[in-house]
């Protein structure tokens, strides 16, 4: 069965110890709010919260009353992190078959579910063995523990290396108005040609984090466009991404219910091509070639 994911994906990295440290009651409330807004896909990684957030989320999910079949769960594996829960000498990546299987099974157990809709390799390793990856993923597919497989932060050549042995359903990359290199380095072109679903983390980029000439130009333009489209700046940044023909799914990180509600409506904003290019030019600081 081919998985389907909500157009806007809710990222859960900041729900636990690495962010808001939401108590179970608030997680339950936030879960139900997301689903009510049509955001049914939740993005995790085993590493979040020093390997603790998935378990906290799973407890909240089990008490939320939400049917497992009505949502989609994504997790990532492969980063061995120096923290309080694992005895690692150095941060590194691990992608042998046994580890991929063990990690996926642990995420499934922590999330209190029977399967993952999508398992991603979190970051490429310079010594990853595609045969080992294929072996691990094939086992998980055969046991119906994952419904699809993908990667995160992989370049075109790295996708080609893995895809020659195992089908990649998705690649989750950094992409935003202020970090749009994937449109010009062949990454999104390759994904379109090979029917790989793009997902993007940090979709708002640095607009609300840094003040420099680039962000000043963008803010100035968005001050005009917010009135034209009766939308917030957050929504316009998401609408800009959603207009790309590769079908990118933005992964939002906010835990604010109002911002989540606004994000869910971004797909209804239809930017004109002229305004889309105005935003690109504001970001780049020069006219298109």
Number of domains in the chain: 1
The domain in which residue 162 lies consists of 9-174
Annotated catalytic residues are: 48
259 assigned to some structural domain: no
CA–CA dist 151, 264 (Å, integer): 25
277 assigned to some structural domain: no
pTM of the complete model beyond 0.85:
yes
For residues 104 and 77, the answer to whether their CB atoms sit within 8 Å is: yes
Asked if residue 285 belongs to a domain, the reply is no
**Which of 33, 58, 56, 43 lies closest to 259 in space, CA to CA?**
33
pLDDT in tens, 167-178: 999 999 999 999
| pLDDT, tens digit, 9 for 90 and up, residues 168-214 | 999 999 999 999 999 999 999 999 999 999 999 999 999 999 999 99
What per-residue confidence (pLDDT) applies to 226? Answer: 98
What's the mean pLDDT in 112-118?
Answer: 97
Rounded distance between C-alpha atoms, residue 112 and residue 122, angstroms: 21
Does some domain include residue 143?
A: yes
Let me know if residue 20 belongs to a domain. yes
- Determine how many CB atoms are found less than 10 A away from the CB of residue 128: 18
CATH number assigned to the domain comprising residue 126: 3.20.20.100
Residue 117 lies in a domain: yes
Q: Residue 102: inside a domain, yes or no? A: yes
């Amino acid at each position: 069965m081919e998985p389907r994911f909500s157009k806007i994906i809710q990222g859960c990295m900041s729900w636990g110890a690495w962010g808001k440290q939401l108590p179970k009651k608030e997680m339950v409330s936030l879960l139900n709010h997301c689903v009510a807004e049509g955001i049914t896909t939740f993005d995790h990684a085993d590493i979040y919260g020093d390997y603790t957030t998935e378990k906290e989320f799973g407890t909240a999910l089990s008490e939320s009353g939400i049917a497992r079949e009505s949502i989609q769960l994504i997790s990532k594996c492969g980063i061995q992190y120096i923290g309080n829960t694992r005895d690692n000498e150095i941060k590194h990546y691990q992608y042998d078959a046994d580890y991929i299987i063990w990690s996926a099974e642990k995420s499934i157990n922590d999330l209190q579910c029977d399967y993952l809709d999508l398992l991603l390799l979190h970051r490429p390793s310079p010594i990853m063995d595609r045969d080992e990856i294929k072996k691990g993923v094939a086992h998980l597919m055969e046991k119906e523990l994952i419904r699809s497989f993908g990667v995160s932060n992989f370049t075109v050549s790295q996708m080609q290396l893995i895809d020659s042995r195992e089908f990649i359903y998705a690649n989750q990359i950094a992409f935003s108005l202020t970090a749009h290199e994937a449109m010009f380095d062949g990454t999104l072109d390759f994904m379109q040609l090979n029917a790989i679903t793009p997902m993007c983390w940090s979709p708002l980029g640095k607009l609300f984090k840094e003040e420099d000439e680039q962000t000043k130009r963008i803010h100035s333009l968005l001050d005009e466009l917010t009135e034209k489209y009766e939308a917030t700046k957050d929504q316009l940044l998401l609408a800009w991404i959603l207009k790309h023909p590769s079908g990118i799914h933005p992964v939002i990180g906010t835990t604010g219910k109002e911002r989540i509600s606004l994000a869910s409506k971004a797909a209804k904003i239809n930017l004109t091509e002229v305004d889309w290019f105005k935003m690109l030019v504001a970001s780049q600081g020069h006219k298109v070639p």
